[in-house]
A and B are shown apart, each in its own frame.
Chain A
Amino acid sequence: MSQWLLNVRLETGEQLHEDGSIQTTTNLFHIEINAGQIAQITVADTAFQPENAKDMQGQLALPAFKEMHNHLDKTYLSLPWKACRTVSGLEERLHYESLELSALADNCEQRASAMIEKILGFGSNHIRTHVNIDPYIGLKNLEGVLAALDKYKDYVTADIIAFPQHGLLRDDVPNLLREALRHGATMLGGLDPGGIDRNIEKSLQTTMDIAQEFSVGVDFHLHDNGHLGYYTIDKWLDMVEEKGFNGKTDFSHSFSLGDVTVPEQIAMAKRLKEHNVAIMSTVPFNLGRNIPPIDLLTEHGVNVHFGCDGFYDSWSPYGSGDILQKACTFADVTRKITERELRQSLGYITNGITPLDGEGQMQWPRAGDEASFVFVPSSCSAEAVARPPKKRTLMNKGKFFN
Chain B
Amino acid sequence: MKLLIKQAQLETGYQYEDGFIMGTAIAPFDILIEDGQFKQIETAIEVESDMEVIEANGQLLLPSFREMHIHIDKTYFSGEWKAPIPITKGILTRIEEEQILLPKQLPFAKERAIRMVEHLIANGHTHIRSHCNVDPQIGTKHIDITVEVLASFKDQITYEIVAFPQHGLIRSAVEPLMRDAMEKGATHVGGVDPAIVDRATHRSLDTMIQIAKDYDKHIDIHLHDRDTLGEHEFHVMMDLLQQHDFKNNVTISHAIALSDLQGESLEKLTKRLASFNIDVTTTVPIGQNRSTIPIPYLYENGVHVSVGHDSLTDHWSPFGTGDTIQKLNVLIERFKFIDEYRISQSLKYATGGITPLNAEGQQVWPKVGDAANALLVDAVSAAHTIARLCPITTVISKGAVIHQENVELKGAYR
A residues at B contact (CB < 8 Å): 19-23, 78-86, 284-287, 312, 315-318, 320, 328-329, 331-335, 337-339, 342, 378-380, 382-383, 386-387
Contacts and interface: CB of A to CB of B under 8 A. Distances in A.
B97 interface: yes
Top 9 nearest A-B pairs by Cβ distance? A386-B318, A80-B412, A83-B340, A339-B83, A317-B387, A84-B338, A383-B81, A81-B384, A286-B336
Given A379-B81, A386-B313, A337 B318 contact: yes
9 contacts: A86-B338, A334-B287, A335-B288, A337-B84, A380-B81, A383-B318, A386-B318, A386-B319, A387-B318
A287 B329 contact: no
A318 B379 CA distance: 14
Given A81-B380, A285-B333, A318-B338, 16 more contacts: A21-B82, A81-B388, A83-B23, A83-B383, A84-B338, A86-B338, A285-B286, A286-B333, A287-B292, A287-B336, A312-B388, A317-B338, A317-B388, A332-B319, A333-B287, A337-B319
A81 B412 contact: yes
Interface string B328-358: 0110111110111001000000000000000
Contacts of B49: none
A390 B303 CA distance: 36
Contacts of B389: 320
Nearest to A342: B83
B355 to A, nearest CB: 15
A85 B339 contact: yes
A106 to B, nearest CB: 18
Contacts of B387: 81, 83, 312, 317-318
Contacts, number: 123
Contacts of B84: 21, 337-338
Contact of A338 (B83, B321, B335): B83
Contacts of B321: 387
Given A285-B334, A333-B286, A333-B287, A80 B85 contact: no
Given A21-B85, A387-B318, A86 B286 contact: no
A378 B318 contact: no
A342 B80 CA distance: 16
Nearest to B82: A21
Chain B binding surface SS class:
loop
B22 interface: yes
Contacts of A315: 338
A349 to B, nearest CB: 17
Nearest to B101: A19
A338 B85 contact: yes
A10 to B, nearest CB: 16
A329 B329 CA distance: 13
A86 B340 CA distance: 10
A19 B81 contact: no
A19 B97 contact: yes
B301 interface: no
Given A78-B413, A334-B288, A83 B339 contact: yes
A50 to B, nearest CB: 31
Nearest to A318: B387
A316 B336 CA distance: 9
A87 to B, nearest CB: 9
Contacts of B289: 335
B249 interface: no
A315 B292 CA distance: 23
B90 interface: no
Contacts of B384: 81, 83
Contacts of B313: 386-387
Interface string B234-270: 0000000000000000000000000000000000000
Given A318-B387, A386-B313, A386-B318, A20 B334 contact: no
B212 to A, nearest CB: 33
A132 B97 CA distance: 54
B329 A318 contact: yes
Residue from B82, B97, B332, B380 whose CB has the most chain A CB atoms within 10 Å: B82
Given A83-B23, A285-B286, A20 B86 contact: yes
Nearest to B21: A83
Contact of A329 (B286, B291, B388, B414): B286
B335 A286 contact: yes
Nearest to B83: A339
B21 to A, nearest CB: 9
B79 to A, nearest CB: 11
B317 A85 contact: no
B397 interface: no
Interface string B289-315: 101100000000000000000000100
B37 interface: no
Given A286-B335, A333-B288, A342-B83, A83 B388 contact: no
Contacts of B166: none
Interface in B377-414: 379-381, 383-384, 387-389, 412-414
Contacts of B101: 19
A23 B412 contact: no
Contact of B81 (A83, A285, A333, A378): A378
Interface string B101-129: 10000000000000000000000000000
Contact of B22 (A85, A318, A337): A85
Interface string B72-104: 000000001111111000000000010011000
Contacts of B414: 81
Contacts of B388: 81, 312, 317-318, 320
B82 to A, nearest CB: 6
B88 to A, nearest CB: 9
B16 interface: no
Given A285-B286, A380-B81, A82 B86 contact: no
A131 B82 CA distance: 42
B20 interface: yes
Contacts of A312: 387-388
A387 B381 CA distance: 28
Given A80-B413, A329-B286, A333-B287, A382 B83 contact: yes
Contacts of A317: 338-339, 343, 383, 387-388
A78 B345 CA distance: 25
A287 B334 contact: yes
B120 to A, nearest CB: 16
